[in-house]
Amino acid sequence: MILILVLVLVALGVFYGILQLSVPGYLQFILVVAEMLIVSHILIKKYKLPTEMGMVLLKSQKGMEAIEKLAKKDEIFKFFADVGIAMSYGLLSTVLMKKNSSIKTLIIGLLLLGFVSFLVGPTAFIFLFEILKVGSFSKGAMPAVSVDYGIYIVSAILLLGGLWLFILSGIVYYGAVIFTKLVETIAFGSDALAKTTPGGTFLLPGINLPLFEGILALAIVLVVHEGAHAVLARIAKIKILSSGIVLFGVIPVGAFVEPDEKELDKLDQHKHTRVIGAGTTSNLMFSSIFFILFFGLAILINNFSLFTTALAGPLKFIYITLGLTFSLNFIVGAVNLLPIPLFDGYRLLDINIKNKMLVKAVMYGTLFFFVLNFLPWFFQK
């Protein structure tokens, strides 16, 4: 135990030292990854811990007990999962996921979708842009439409295809913008692509996010996501083989649950849909909850300056953590709906669409535009 404590303290000390170096951010990132890989290797070899892709898996029975308790409230969680499907796919859910759709879940899902899309989502992007110290899309990237006309377009997309169609159309649209800049750069030798704002970025605590607040927020996001999958799996009588915490070196980066995949694949279509869709649903729900807490704290800070001045340090930590938690829950929930490998969105389409050629075509097309959104990073000087 003493050796583990010493290792943790030394690793955190080295980690902090790397962040203080006057070197480019990408070099800090490489050094941090190298250090944590070494620490992970030591923990895995010395203490015989299970591992996955260099990550340390700390299995815990307490997580299993919590999942079993929550699974007893099966009707609540089934309803919660079906509402999430309506939020994710809008009216399209009544076609693709008929057994998961009812008038009640559809109405509630669409109302929550409006709240998440027009209040939580935009605020999340504004907060993250401020934290990351970046601007929004490059000039001329967005279509020249009036605000009212734009709202009608966004509302129609959300109503027809939910958050899934909205995030997919955004990825495809901006990917097409970047593709035209790529062609211009190659054909004319211009720097058009270098001047284009990337459509996506990686969010890394200690690199472009506050270290401790970022780690805590990401841990909450992953615990919420994986926990929801596990609860709905147990409600469907699927065995959970293991659960626990994921460490990268000594940094907690999330949680994991391991359902019996063979049993999961044998589930009825609507039950399988609930299990897979629950992750995104939980992220969107918790994003809304933390959004309300975030604004409550903001009102407190703005109206009680004498009280907040005395607690400036702790309140700032809580404020940033709440902001990151609701923002990252929204981002992870929305992006996870994209139909690309390793994302739940791909599995949801695969479960509910019989034409597998169509599913593959949508997947490859989405993957192409998704990669394009990151392309400008490689051309920036």
Per-residue model confidence as pLDDT tens digits over 96-108 = 999 999 999 999 9
Per-residue model confidence as pLDDT tens digits over 144-184 = 444 456 788 999 999 999 999 999 999 999 999 999 999 99
Q: What is the residue type of 309?
A: T
Break the chain into its structural domains and give their ranges: 2-49, 63-378
- 260/80 Cα distance (integer angstroms): 23
| CB of 158 closer than 8 Å to CB of 90 | yes
Q: What angle do the packed helices 211-235 and 312-335 form, to 10 degrees?
A: 50
Q: What is the pLDDT of residue 61?
A: 67
Q: What is the pLDDT of residue 1?
A: 61
pLDDT at 47 over 90: no
DSSP letters along 27-50, please?
HHHHHHHHHHHHHHHHHHHHHT--
Q: Quote the pTM value.
A: 0.83
Tokens matching residue 144: 């020249």
Q: What are phi and psi of 260, to 5 degrees?
A: -70, 105
Question: CB pairs under 8 A, 24+ apart, for 74-80?
Answer: 74/235, 77/231, 77/232, 77/235, 77/278, 78/232, 78/235, 78/274, 79/105, 80/278, 80/281, 80/285
| CB of 301 closer than 8 Å to CB of 319 | yes
Q: For residue 42, count other CB atoms closer than 10 A to its CB.
A: 15
Q: In percent, how much of the chain has pLDDT > 70?
A: 89
* 3-class state of residue 108 by DSSP: helix
